[in-house]
Amino acid sequence: MIILVGFLLFSFFSEFECSRPNILIMLMDDMGWGDLGVFGHPSKETPRLDQMASEGMLFPDFYTANPLCSPSRAALLTGRLPLRNGFYTTNAHARNGYTPQEIVGGISDRELLLSELLALAGYRNKIVGKWHLGHQAQYLPLKHGFHEWFGSSNCHFGPYNDKSTPNIPVFRNDEMIGRYYEDFQINRTTGESNLTILFTEEATSFIKKQAQAQQPFFLYWAPDATHAPVYASRSFLDKSERGLYGDAVRELDFSVGIILDTLWTTGVANNTLVFFTSDNGAALVSKIMGGSNGPFLCGKETTFEGGMREPAIAWWPGTIKPGQVSHQLGTVMDLFSTALDLAGVEPPSDRVIDGISLKSTFIDGKMTDRPVFYYRGNELMAVRLGFYKAHFWCWSNSWEELKQGIDFCPGEKVEGITSHQQMNYTTQPKIFHLGRDPGEKYTLNPKSKEYQKAKSAILEIVKEHKNNLTPGKPQLNWCDKAVMHWSPPGCKKLKRCLTPPSPKPYLCSWPH
């Protein structure tokens, strides 16, 4: 009898294990919709990503939740808009905030991260690469559901002198193991760095370990080679017809191939959902050192399509049929809801979740009607519903910044749209049809029936959205040089602690 019960339990659990797929999210940094061959880049330098798309499902209508890295990443991991999860600022109207090393805030304890929920369900979680949800000790990944980490809390900006500004630390799990430009080189002259190689090895060794242990895993692979200063390892330098940015893309493409190959060789490919996307649009401000947003208007930092639409591919051999394209409107927050659905975990019911599960889109091509909200800081700038996108506010950046050469829409000017003062179109939104006009150049005539119909449908959505909206406590208002990376966890062991200045909090300045 006992033996029989034991056997039944065993078979129940082994079937259960089998039915819970591994989740692998590949999140690129500042990579644009137009950077992949499959999305039309003329250089055709992404053979592995193009192959991944042909073996899976391409999402041409996939979005971030904010056109900047930290809020986008916080949204992905919480399934919630930055205005709800606290990754925004109220220091000024409609400003993008993020987590530089002066930031005091970070991901709130009240938020439930995908990593935390999957950990409870028995998943082993690893983050490789950039975190960007706050760097004070309480905000780091191992405090929020991840079991393993190799990478950094912040962008790889620098080099710094460690006197006025410390170099950014690189972490293994919950301790620093060195710093960028000291122990982890990025040559600012040549663009050479071995970091993508390291990030790839960390991913493949984790997959091998988990496949061996037959324990489901969540791997959040977030390399940052396409974020300024862009870098590639020696064998990729000077290979792309696009220059150094293209070299970085080629190396990431190669790495994606290595990781997918590892899923095959370890026998877990058909039990792993891989989703490839990016955190925000390409940084056009970097000109030829930045990526491409294809036909879309402007780039990173803006709520035009170029700032928010992302390359996206879902891959799951045996479950997602090859060669598909889905025009489902998707967002990074859907990765939260989809992963929970696949893991058989109920999403939290005590809060609003902005993601939807894409499971039946993956499996049956199901389409769900849902809006996309375009936020910049504390302001709802625009809403997409179907093909219609209504802008309530239009702004690129200020004249002052433009005069300093900071241009988020280089070579592009749409009167009253790519504006250098904040335009309030709340009473009469500017509406574009993204099917006929993906580049947001030709506004619908407000007198037309088409405009009236689109406007009333979208206003209905906005009303409901605002009724349901409880903003989280803003995390990106306060800065302090004392919280910079003077003495990160682990620095004592390395005898590499620096002395912080005394605390002197100030309101962070977010110019755009």
Ligand X SMILES: *[C@@H]1O[C@H](CO)[C@@H](O)[C@H](O)[C@H]1NC(C)=O
Name the burial class of residue 125, with classes exposed (0-12), middle (13-18) and buried (19+) by CB atoms within 10 angstroms of its CB.
buried
Kindly tell me which residue out of 174, 182, 183, 192 binds ligand X, with binding defined by CB under 6 A.
Answer: 192
Any contact of residue 22 with ligand X (CB under 6 A)?
A: no
Any contact of residue 190 with ligand X (CB under 6 A)?
A: yes
Minimum CB distance to ligand X smaller for 185 or for 204: 185
Tokens 């037309």 found at: 448
What is the smallest separation between the CB atom of 17 and ligand X, expressed in angstroms?
Answer: 11
Interaction mask 130-169, ligand X, x per CB under 6 A: ----------------------------------------
Instruction: Report how far residue 475's alpha carbon sits from residue 45's, in angstroms, rounded to the nearest whole number.
Output: 39
Contacts of ligand X in 279-318 (CB under 6 A) = 318
What is the DSSP track for 127-186?
Answer: EEEE--S--SGGGSGGGTT-SEEEEESS-------SSSSPPPEEEETTEEEEEBTTTB-B
How many CA within 13 A on the CB side of residue 474? 20
Minimum CB distance to ligand X smaller for 138 or for 270: 270
CB 507 within 8 A of CB 484: no
The long-range contacts involving 371-374, CB below 8 angstroms and separated by at least 24 positions, are 371/329, 371/458, 371/461, 371/465, 372/63, 372/308, 372/329, 372/331, 373/65, 373/81, 373/465, 374/63, 374/303, 374/308
CB 445 within 8 A of CB 432: no
What is the smallest separation between the CB atom of 348 and ligand X, expressed in angstroms?
Answer: 28
Any contact of residue 193 with ligand X (CB under 6 A)?
A: yes
Instruction: Report how far residue 354's alpha carbon sits from residue 344's, in angstroms, rounded to the nearest whole number.
Output: 18
CB atoms within 10 A of CB 287: 12
Any contact of residue 90 with ligand X (CB under 6 A)?
A: no
Stretch that binds ligand X, among 8-16, 278-286, 424-432, 452-460 (CB under 6 A): 424-432
Kindly tell me which residue out of 424, 428, 445, 452 binds ligand X, with binding defined by CB under 6 A.
Answer: 424
Helix, coil or strand: residue 389: strand
What is the smallest separation between the CB atom of 264 and ligand X, expressed in angstroms?
Answer: 10
Stretch that binds ligand X, among 34-42, 46-54, 420-428, 480-488 (CB under 6 A): 420-428
Minimum CB distance to ligand X smaller for 22 or for 70: 22
**Phi first, then psi: what are they for 85, rounded to 5°?**
-85, 0
Instruction: Report how far residue 98's alpha carbon sits from residue 476's, in angstroms, rounded to the nearest whole number.
Output: 7
Stretch that binds ligand X, among 116-124, 131-139, 421-429, 453-461 (CB under 6 A): 421-429
Instruction: Report how far residue 392's alpha carbon sits from residue 86's, in angstroms, rounded to the nearest whole number.
Output: 22
Stretch that binds ligand X, among 40-48, 148-156, 187-195, 491-499 (CB under 6 A): 187-195
Total residues in contact with ligand X, by rule CB under 6 A: 13
Any contact of residue 445 with ligand X (CB under 6 A)?
A: no
Minimum CB distance to ligand X smaller for 279 or for 379: 379
Kindly tell me which residue out of 187, 428, 448, 452 binds ligand X, with binding defined by CB under 6 A.
Answer: 187
Active-site hit among 41, 69, 485, 491: 69
Any contact of residue 15 with ligand X (CB under 6 A)?
A: no
- Nearest to 375, CA basis, from 85, 39, 42, 5: 85
Stretch that binds ligand X, among 134-142, 192-200, 413-421, 501-509 (CB under 6 A): 192-200
Any contact of residue 14 with ligand X (CB under 6 A)?
A: no
Any contact of residue 270 with ligand X (CB under 6 A)?
A: yes
**Is position 497 annotated as part of the catalytic site?**
no
DSSP code for 103: B
Stretch that binds ligand X, among 183-191, 217-225, 284-292, 334-342 (CB under 6 A): 183-191
**Is position 479 annotated as part of the catalytic site?**
no
Kindly tell me which residue out of 51, 165, 194, 487 binds ligand X, with binding defined by CB under 6 A.
Answer: 194
- Nearest to 232, CA basis, from 276, 277, 202, 187: 187
Buried b (16+ CB within 10 A) or exposed e, 5-20: eeeeeeeeeeeeeeeb
Helix, coil or strand: residue 285: helix
Name the burial class of residue 502, with classes exposed (0-12), middle (13-18) and buried (19+) by CB atoms within 10 angstroms of its CB.
exposed
Any contact of residue 185 with ligand X (CB under 6 A)?
A: yes
Contacts of ligand X in 312-351 (CB under 6 A) = 318
Kindly tell me which residue out of 78, 125, 210, 271 binds ligand X, with binding defined by CB under 6 A.
Answer: 271
What is the smallest separation between the CB atom of 492 and ligand X, expressed in angstroms?
Answer: 26
Active-site hit among 18, 41, 132, 433: 132
Q: Which residues are within 8 A (CB) of 437 and not within 5 positions of it... i.e. 6 or more apart? A: none
**Phi first, then psi: what are they for 233, rounded to 5°?**
-80, 165
Query: Catalytic positions, please?
Result: 69, 132
Positions in the binding site for ligand X (CB under 6 A):
185, 187, 189-190, 192-194, 270-271, 318, 424, 426-427
